[in-house]
Amino acid sequence: MSGSFFGPGIGLPDDAIARERTSFHRQNHNVDLDARLETLALGDDGLGEALEDDQDDFNDETFDADLREITGKDFDFYQSTVSSHAGAPQQQQQQYQQQQYQQQQYQQQAQRQTQPALNDAQSGNKVMTLAELEARMLMQQQQHRQQQHIQQQPSMPPMDFGRKLADPEVVARRKRDRLQRQMELSKYDNMMSRHDKDYIVRIQISQLLTDDPAADDFYCHMYQLSRGTMFGSGSLPQQTAIQNNGSQDAPTSRPSAETPASGNPGQQPMVEQQGKSEQSPAVAGRSLNSHGSSSSNDARRSNSSLGMPGQSQNHPHQHLGRSHRSNTQSSMARMQQQVQRIVNEAKRRPKAAHVAAEGALGRISVNSARNPKQVIQVQQRGHAGSISQSDAPRNSPLPATHHDLGGIFSGMGDTRNPASERRKTLRSIENVYTAVLRLEQLIREQVRLPQNPDHPSVQQWLAMYSEAKERAWSELDASQPISNTYPHPLVRFLSFSKGKRIIPRLVHHLSIDQILALTTTIIANFETLDVCRFGSFSYSASGSLVAMQQREETDLFLHAVMPPTLAFLAETSLQIVNGLFALFMERNNIAWVARTRPALAFLTVLLGRSATLRQAGAHAYGAQPDAQEVYQSSELYNHLFNSLRGNLVSIFPPSSTTTSSPAMGQAISPISAVSTVSPMEDLHAWQFLATLAIGASVEQQHALVSEVREKVLEKVMLAKSGHVPIDIAMALTANVNLFLNALGLDASQVAT
Amino acid sequence: MLFYSFFKTQVGQQVTVELKNDLAIQGTLESVDQFLNFKLKDITVVDEERYPHMMSVKNCFIRGSVVRYVQLSPPTVDTALLQDAARREAQSTQQQQQQHQQQVSKSTTAASS
């Protein structure tokens, strides 16, 4: 089928060659290879000769046309509307020196064409006919074009990279073509005046404006602040300088999704235009680039940040080489003015999301990017967070896969409705978050306040600040009397991971007393904390999801909640330490709780602090502790020791204890046992033991050593055996040394 | 404007945009606007064979309303900050709604009176 495209006798070239060979004798014995190939290539089978060729009589009539005649003869709509023959663009090119003469020509023609009544000098008379108007516009246009033409000529070096460089004709031709194309493209340039363009830009920018740039662009702004170093050193000083201005009011700063940070550098070009030369475009450039498409793009390039591909985030210091610096500066300045004007107008006439005319029967909703059309309509029932009574009490605890494990308390709420308890707690957590966010926002704004403390705004700020703090504190509910509800609201609060996470941020704003109250409550209810109820090392199944979650929660607790309290402990007086210590031991079952890492950490710090205070005597933090206090702390110590006696080994992670029974000398079992446990697991335990040892009397030390002897030996053996990598061995040794050094011993002294 | 703010921080990162018509495009995020339209640079289509017509396309503009998912890389996202931003957004939306309700009630009372 495909073989017959060129004719019935023609097949693939191979076939042709084959045929050729066989028909060699029939055809002309053409030894010339070229001719043969040609016949093959052209598929010349002689049929061409058989074609009738005598029907060409009417060709000339049909096709007779001179190329020169028909080129350039497109219907010229423009010309026919302007009766003045505007001396077409083609003439323009060649005669730009005679511009003046041409102008006069046009004007005369225009005048000739128009009504005599309206005919007048070109610029004097306001009333012009359409034709005159067009003639004028055209003139202006051509002026512009000529200027551009003159400008661009020097800036277009021959760009032929050597291909046919030497050939001047080609170069000239190319240049001419390029010019020609450019002329054609720019024939309708500059139709909009600057005012028109500004008008459009204003409309577009107004879509982007916001009342509260700090709120609307919060994520982006804070993200860039927190990762400021990534965007190059240039932006940091900028940002710190800007931060001092804090978040400004909408009218004064550049509004819209523009951050307050970029407000200043944006305004700088305007102010500094007269003054600094290098700095302002650089600043503007950097601000443009470092804040990237974030802030500056929004307002400054309103027809979207999409329009400027050259300034991507990847090159923060890519200098604005595309346009002339003056260009950028002036356009920036104009953008500034735009924004100012829009802001002022917007303030005068606030835009509502719904428009209801007087006497109309309904509302028209105005959709913008900020309040888009809702696909799902959600009705607000009552007030948010109301506890719905219709929920059936849940019999089964929440599924274990629930990440925050708040369900651990689901069966223990004091109301009949555990679900509502949970929701109440979550609601209070969110309230605390709201208050903390408010506090942080206030702190950010604090830098703006005037230095004078009597200024009313300062006092107002103080009032707001303390109010928010109060709210946060009351929501936290740390000071509720201990035995009221079980579990304590604070404990419930902390059973959620987001509750744990907000603590350090909140503590930052709290007073010492409040922190003390917080710590007290935590200690008093330590047993009931979720992290303790997990049991630190007794994971349900060490690889399961639940175990991992438990571990995460514990870690989170240790990293988020503990540090503030521990820091507090490390700085208080012996009296308070004693009190807390006593409380701890009184309210919690030490032996049981000591298995948990948080408790160990607490005890370690408590012990350490009391030891320090006892020994240091006159410390900076207060007078020398009373003899009574010292006595008390020793008593407490003894009490602790006695309650832990005999159980000390149990504070270590279980995977080690279970295998500690086999004979110590064997190298095999310790490896399999301990290699599953990294050295960091028992770090807490060793630290605790070390602190314990510090305060121990000789007899107590003996007791200590005898109890943990096996453990120590095991670790040291493992480290020396060489079956574990060197760094783990070193870590193991270091851990053991924590304890041994406290006793005055060292791991190297241990008889292998 | 939370998502807009969020995507502004993603500019310059590698993302994969999955559209509602199942086309998944991977590329560098060049810019984003208030409607969450995306401009991607140096794109590759995830399932090349099904979309041969995309072979020559290097940059593209994607209308926000056709996007189903945008896949990001985790290190570039600050989740704690995102949570905070979301909370603030929720608060401000609540406030706006309350204001609207007030407006509505005002206008209805004005209309009825």
Between A315 and A348, the higher pLDDT residue? A348
- Cβ separation A305–B104 shorter than 8 A: no
Q: Does A501 touch chain B (CB under 8 A)?
A: yes
Residue A284 has pLDDT above 50, yes or no: no
Domain for residue B17, yes or no?
A: yes
Residue A374 has pLDDT above 50, yes or no: yes
- Cβ separation B97–A370 shorter than 8 A: no
Q: Which domain holds residue B10?
A: 2-74
Can you read off the two tokens belonging to residue A684? 């807490």
Measured between alpha carbons, how far apart are the two ends of chain A, in Å?
A: 93
Between B25 and A684, the higher pLDDT residue? B25
Cα-Cα-Cα-Cα dihedral sign, residues A469, A471, A472, A476: positive
Using CA atoms, how far apart are residues A551 and A536, in angstroms rounded to an integer? 8
- For A367, residues 6+ apart whose C-beta sits below 8 A from its C-beta are A373
Measured between alpha carbons, how far apart are the two ends of chain B, in Å?
A: 37
- For A170, residues 6+ apart whose C-beta sits below 8 A from its C-beta are A160, A164
Chain B closest CA to A624's CA: distance in Å? 44
Q: Does B12 touch chain A (CB under 8 A)?
A: yes
Q: Does B3 touch chain A (CB under 8 A)?
A: no
Mean pLDDT within A361-385: 72
Q: What's the pLDDT score for residue A98?
A: 62
Contacts of B87 in chain A (CB under 8 A): 430, 433-434, 437
Domain for residue B83, yes or no?
A: no
B:81-110 residues touching chain A, CB 8 A cutoff: 81-85, 87-89, 91-92, 94, 96-97, 100, 103-104, 107, 110
Domain for residue B87, yes or no?
A: no
Q: What is the pTM of this model?
A: 0.61
Mean pLDDT within A50-69: 76
Using CA atoms, how far apart are residues A293 and A300, in angstroms rounded to an integer? 10
Per-chain mean pLDDT for chain A: 68
Highest-pLDDT range among A126-135, A248-257, A459-468? A459-468
Domain for residue B109, yes or no?
A: no
- Cβ separation A210–B1 shorter than 8 A: yes
Q: What is the CATH number of the domain that holds B44?
A: 2.30.30.100
Using CA atoms, how far apart are residues B8 and A327, in angstroms rounded to an integer? 26
- Per residue in A507-520, pLDDT (tens digit) is 888 888 888 888 88
Per-residue pLDDT band at B44 (split at 50, 70, 90) = very high
Q: What's the pLDDT score for residue A330?
A: 79
Between A574 and A162, the higher pLDDT residue? A574
- Cβ separation A217–B94 shorter than 8 A: no
Of B9, B28, B87, nearest to A220 by CB-CB distance is B9
Between A463 and A268, the higher pLDDT residue? A463
B:55-74 residues touching chain A, CB 8 A cutoff: 59, 61
Q: What's the pLDDT score for residue B83?
A: 92
Per-residue pLDDT band at A535 (split at 50, 70, 90) = low
Domain for residue B112, yes or no?
A: no
Lowest mean pLDDT among A99-108, A655-664, B24-33: A655-664
Domain for residue B108, yes or no?
A: no
Lowest mean pLDDT among A180-189, A229-238, B16-25, B94-103: A229-238
Mean pLDDT within A619-634: 68
Q: Does A431 touch chain B (CB under 8 A)?
A: no
**Domains: count for chain B:** 1
Residue A702 has pLDDT above 60, yes or no: yes
Using CA atoms, how far apart are residues A603 and A692, in angstroms rounded to an integer? 9
Torsion of CA A417, A422, A428, A430, to 10 degrees: -140
* pLDDT over 90 percentage in chain B: 62
Q: Does B54 touch chain A (CB under 8 A)?
A: no
Per-chain mean pLDDT for chain B: 89
Mean pLDDT within A656-681: 43
Three-state SS for A99-145 is: HHHHHHHHHHHHHHHCCCCCCCCCCCCCCCCHHHHHHHHHHHHHHHH
Between A635 and A661, the higher pLDDT residue? A635
Mean pLDDT within A366-386: 68
Residue A422 has pLDDT above 70, yes or no: yes
- Cβ separation A294–B81 shorter than 8 A: no
Residue B6 has pLDDT above 80, yes or no: yes
3-state secondary structure of A600: helix
- Per residue in A395-421, pLDDT (tens digit) is 444 444 444 444 454 444 455 677 888
- Cα angle, residue A415 at apex, residues A413 and A418 outer, rounded to 5°: 50
Domain for residue B33, yes or no?
A: yes
Nearest-CA neighbor of B73 among B30, B4, B23, B26? Answer: B26
Between B95 and B61, the higher pLDDT residue? B61
Q: Does A101 touch chain B (CB under 8 A)?
A: no
Using CA atoms, how far apart are residues A462 and A449, in angstroms rounded to an integer? 11
- Cβ separation A219–B94 shorter than 8 A: no
- Cβ separation A257–B92 shorter than 8 A: no
Chain B residue closest in CA terms to A259: B5
- Per residue in A67-109, pLDDT (tens digit) is 777 777 777 676 666 655 444 454 554 555 566 665 666 666 6
- Per residue in A562-597, pLDDT (tens digit) is 888 888 888 888 788 888 888 888 887 777 777 788
- Cβ separation B9–A219 shorter than 8 A: yes
Q: What's the pLDDT score for residue A112?
A: 62
Give bridge partners of residue B61 from the DSSP assignment.
Answer: B39
- Cβ separation B85–A359 shorter than 8 A: no
Residue B65 has pLDDT above 80, yes or no: yes
- Cβ separation A312–B12 shorter than 8 A: yes
Highest-pLDDT range among A179-188, A476-485, A527-536? A179-188
- Per residue in A214-232, pLDDT (tens digit) is 777 889 888 988 887 455 4
Asked if residues A522 and A529 have their Cβ atoms less than 8 Å apart, the reply is yes
Domain for residue B21, yes or no?
A: yes
Q: What's the pLDDT score for residue A104?
A: 62
